[in-house]
Structure 1
Amino acid sequence: MHVVIAPDCFTGTLTAQQAAEAIASGWREAAPHDLLTLLPLSDGGPGFLEVLGAAFPQAETLASTVADPLGREVPAALTLVDLDGRRTAYLESAQAAGLHLLDADERNPAVTSTWGVGQLLDVALAAGATRIVVGLGGSATNDGGAGLLAALGAGPEGALARGGLALAELSDDALAGLHEVRQRFAGVELVLATDVDSPLLGLQGASAVFAPQKGASPELAQALEGALGRYAEVVRRTVPEPTDLLTGKPRRLDKEPGAGAAGGLGYALYLLGGTRVSGVEEVLRAVGFRDLAAAADLVVTGEGCFDWSSLQGKVVAGVAATALETATPSVVIAGQTLVGRREAMTLGLSGTYAVAETPAQLEAAMADPVGTLRARAVRVAATWSPSR
C-alpha cells in the first residue's frame, strides 16, 4: 500500500516536516510493509519556503538579514529558481513579519511593521527576479503593508513604518514616492499566495478579524480600522484606481479578496500590481501533488486544528479536493477536530481523526506533540492499512 503523508504545520507545536515525520513513524510501527511518501505542505504561511525548497532541488537559496516586526535584525532567505525561462523568487513574509518572531508580551499590532518584507522584495529585484511569489500568513502586523512600501522608497520611514496605529496621522503626501516604486515593479509578475480572502477594511477585514489574534483589544482593533481607512484614503489621493475591464468603473483595491491578508500586506502588494492565487494551490502545483495522489492508495493530511476555517483555502481542503479528483481516499489527523463528519465529507475526506478529544488529552498533546501524534497515527494505520 502506497501512502502519501502530506500535512500542514501544527501551529505552535510542529512544523509540517516534523508532523509528517511523526505520522510516518507511527504508521511504520503499525504497517511496516507500506510505502510512505512524505510531503510536508504549506498554504503560504510559515514553512512556505521550506516546502518549496524541497520541491525545487535545483533552486538557489539567497540568504539575507532583514528587520523583524519590531525592527530587530533577523535572518531570512528567498528561493530562486528558473521556471519556464523566467527567474522566479519565492518569499515567505512570515520570515520578516511573523508572529512567531515575537514573545507573547511583545505582540502589539499597533506598533509592528512590515518593513522587513519590503527588504526581501528589494533582494528579489536585485537578484533579477521577473516573477515574485510572496507567501502570506502568520503575521504579527496590521499596517496594510505601509512598512513594506516605506522600505521600497514610497515614503518616509517615520510615517509609514511605525506600525498600524500611526497611519491615522498620515499626511496627504506621505506616499509621494509610490509612483516610482510601482514603476520598479512594472515588468515583474507579483503574486500573492494566501489562504485569506478578506478585504482590507470592514467587518471581515484585517483589523476586525485578525488583529485580535495578534494581541489587539477590541478598542485597539477599532482604532486600527480607522488608521487603515486613513491610509487607504492617502493611497487614493496618490495613485489613480485601476479600471475594471468588465464594468469600466474604478476598482477599489482595498476591497479586493486577499487585501486584508497578513494584516493588509496583500493590499500593498496589490498596489504594486500583484495578483492573488490560493497559497495551497500554488504549493500543490509546485510539488506535483496531483500526480503523487493519483499514484497512491491513500493520502493522509493534517493540521493543528481542523475547524471551520479549514474548509476553505487551507492545506487540508486543497489536499482533499485534489485527492477527490484523482479518486484517492484521503483522511486527516489533526490535533483537534471541530468539524462534523458531514462537513468533512463535503471536502471529500474519508475520515477525520483527532489527537486530543478531551482537555486532559489536549494538555498531553501540547506537552508531547510528537509522541501523541505518532500514537494517533499508529491507530489510524491499523484501521486503513491491510494486514499481512
Structure 2
Amino acid sequence: MNPIHPQVPKTLLVAPDSFKGSLSAVAICQSVEKVVKKMGWPIQVVSRPMSDGGEGFVDAVLYAGLAQSVTLEVQNPIGKAVSATFAWQPDSRTAIVEMAQASGLPLLSQDERNPLKASSYGTGQLLVRAIEMGAKKIVLGLGGSATNDGGAGALQALGFQMLNSHNQSIGPGPKGLSELSKIGFEPQGQITLERLQSIEWVIACDVTNPLLGPLGATAVFGPQKGVTPALYSMIETSLQHFADLMERRFKRSVRNLPGAGAAGGMAGGFVGFLDAKLVSGFTLLADLLALENLFEEQKIDCVLTAEGKIDEQTQYGKLPAQIALMAQRHHVPCVAICGKLEASLQDLPMFKALHSIHEHLPPETPLEILLTQTPQNLTKTLKQHLPTWLAN
C-alpha cells in the first residue's frame, strides 16, 4: 500500500554526491525524477546535484541553470587530447573550473597512471580560455586528480616558466620538478603576470591535508595515483623543492597550510603563485545553489542525499552529513543512500534512514558486479522505499 495519499503532494529535495565509478550526481537526480514520474506519485522533485569540489562540480552548477557551458579540447594528465567543460557566468565574468575534467584520475586506465610524469597542464588550458574570455574571478574545484605536480603543469600553461639549471623548460610531473632551478614568467598575448594577479582566485576543496609530510599530498593521496613506497621519497622531495623555490620567489609559505595538499598539491601551488583563497567546496557550491534558501522558500518534506560509501567517517564533514545537518537546521528529515553502507543510524543520528542500494545482494558480491548493477538497483531501492521516506 502506498503511504503517500494521492491528494497530499510532497516535496523532495534530492542533493546527492556521485557514486564514483558508476553514477554521477546528475544521473542520480535524473533516476529519482524518472521513478517518481513513472510511478505517478504526487511528489515534486527539486534536484540539486552536489559536489565537494571534485567530480561533478561543474555539472552541478550547469544543471541548476546558473551558468553557460564552455567546452574545449585540452591535454589529459599524460598529454592525450580530451574534451573538457567549464561553467561561465558572463554577468559576473566568473569561470567555474573543475580540474578533474582535464586532469582527473578516471581519465587514465590503470596502466596509464604514472605519478612521476602526470601533469596538470590541461587544467591550465581551461584556465587560459577562461582568462581569454575576460574572467575576473575563477573558482577552481579540486579533487579526484591523477597528478602530484603541485599544480606546476597548470601554472606553466598560464605562462609561468619552470626552468632547469640550463635555462630549459623542465619536463612534466614530479620528475620534472626535481630538476627545477628557476621560476620565471613569459606573457602569452593578453595573459600577463599583472592580469593573473588581478583575478580573484578561489580554490574549492574539502580536504585539509598539508602539502608535505605523513598527512600530505603524496603520502595520503599518492597511492591511488600509482605512488609506490619506492617512488614516495623522490616525489616528496620534488614537492618540497618546489615549495622552497615557490617561497623564495613569491614570499608565501604553503608547506604546512591546511588544504595545500589537495589535488596533488595544486592547491598549494595556486596559493603560493597566485595568492588563491582556499574555501570549502561544499559550502561554496551550497552558496552558489542557494541551498539554504530552498528550505525558506518552500515546504520541503524530505531530503535525499547519496554517496558511494557511507561509514563512521561520514560524520566528519563528508557531503551527506553536511546536507543532513542543513536539513536538520530546518527541521526536515534526511535520508541517505549509498553503494556501500558501513554505519548505522546510531553512528549517524543526523539521518532518518540509511540504505545501501545493493542491500538485497549477498555481502560477498564482487565490486565489478555491484558497479554494473548500480542503475537498476538504485531504481529498485527508490520504488521500494521512497513512499515510506516521505510518509509522516
Question: TM (normalized to structure 2)?
Answer: 0.87
Match of 1:183 in 2: 194
Deviations 1:102-150 (CA, angstroms, capped at 9, x unpaired): 1111012111001111111111111111111011111100001111111
Q: How does 1:353-372 map to 2 (within 5 A)?
A: 353-357=355-359, 358-360=363-365, 364-372=369-377
Corresponding position of 2:13: 4
- Greater shift, 11-20 or 220-229, is seen at 220-229
SS at structure 1 position matched to 2:259:
coil
Q: Is the 8 A contact 1:130 1:189 kept in 2?
A: yes
Structure having the higher helix fraction is 1
Shift of 1:385: 2.9
2-side partners of 1:202 and 1:181: how far apart?
A: 34
| Residue 254 (structure 2) pairs with residue 253 (structure 1) | yes
**Pick from 155, 158, 166: which aligns with 1:149?**
155
Q: Verify the 8 A CA contact 1:17 1:40 in the aligned structure 2.
A: yes
Counterparts of 1:382 and 1:362, CA distance in 2: 29
Q: 1:75 aligns to what SS in structure 2?
A: strand
AA in 2 matched with 1:386: A
Measured in 2, the distance between the counterparts of 1:213 and 1:311 equals 23
CA distance in 2, matches of 1:110, 1:147: 13
Give me the whole-angstrom Cα distance separating, in 2, the residues matched to 1:308 and 1:220. Answer: 32
Cα distance, 1:182 vs. partner? 5.2
CA distance in 1, matches of 2:238, 2:152: 11
Change (3 A) 1:293 1:213: farther
1:152 Cα deviation from its structure 2 partner: 1.6
**Post-superposition shift, 1:219?**
2.1
Residue equivalent to 2:84 = 76
Map of 1:9-158 to 2, 5 A cutoff? 9-26=18-35, 32-57=41-66, 59-82=67-90, 86-156=92-162
How many residue pairs are counted as aligned between the two chains? 370
| Cα pair distance change 1:362/1:293, threshold 3 Å | farther
Aligned to 1:233: 244
Could you tell me which residue of structure 1 aligns to residue 3 of structure 2?
none
Q: Which moved more, 1:205-214 or 1:225-234?
A: 225-234
Q: Note the C-alpha offset of 1:29.
A: 6.4
Contact 1:203 1:209 in 2 (8 A): yes
- Between the aligned partners of 2:102 and 2:369, the Cα distance in structure 1 is 32
CA distance in 2, matches of 1:15, 1:279: 17
Match of 1:246 in 2: none
- The CA RMSD measured in Å over matched residues stands at 2.4
- Report the 3-state secondary structure (helix = DSSP H, G, I; strand = E; otherwise coil) of the residue aligned with 2:355: strand
Measure how far apart 1:14 and its partner are: 0.5
The Cα shift of 1:92 comes to 0.9
CA distance 1:232–1:47, change in 2 (3 Å): same
How far is the alpha carbon of 1:359 from its aligned partner? Answer: 2.0
Are the counterparts in 1 of residues 335 and 389 from structure 2 also a CA contact under 8 Å?
A: no
| Contact 1:31–1:382 under 8 Å retained in 2 | no
Task: Report whether the alignment pairs 1:275 with 2:281.
Answer: no
Structure 2 partner of 1:202: 213
**Alignment match of 2:222 (pick from 203, 211, 222):** 211
Report the AA paired with residue 151 of structure 2. G
Whether the 8 Å contact between 2:68 and 2:89 is mirrored in structure 1 is yes
1:308 CA displacement: 4.7
Question: For residues 86 and 170 of structure 2, what CA distance do their matches in structure 1 show?
Answer: 24
What's the counterpart of residue 169 of structure 1? 179
Residue identity over aligned pairs, in percent, reads 35
Hey, what's the Cα distance between the residues in 2 that align with 1:178 and 1:278?
A: 32
Unaligned runs of 5+ in 2: 1-9
- For 1:81, give the aligned amino acid: Q
1:304 paired to 2:308: yes
**Does the CA-based 8 Å contact 1:5-1:24 persist in structure 2?**
no
Which secondary structure state, in structure 2, belongs to the residue aligned with residue 186 of structure 1?
Answer: helix
> Which runs of 5 or more structure 1 residues have no equivalent in the other structure?
242-251
Relative to 1, partners in 2 of residues 1:381 and 1:256: Cα closer, same or farther, differing over 3 Å? same
Deviations 1:159-192 (A, max 9, x none): 5551123322222x1x122999653322211000
Q: Which residue of 2 aligns with 1:248?
A: none
- Larger displacement relative to structure 2 (354-363 or 369-378): 354-363
Q: Is the 8 A contact 2:345 2:352 kept in 1?
A: no
Alignment CA distance shift 1:24-1:214 (3 Å):
same
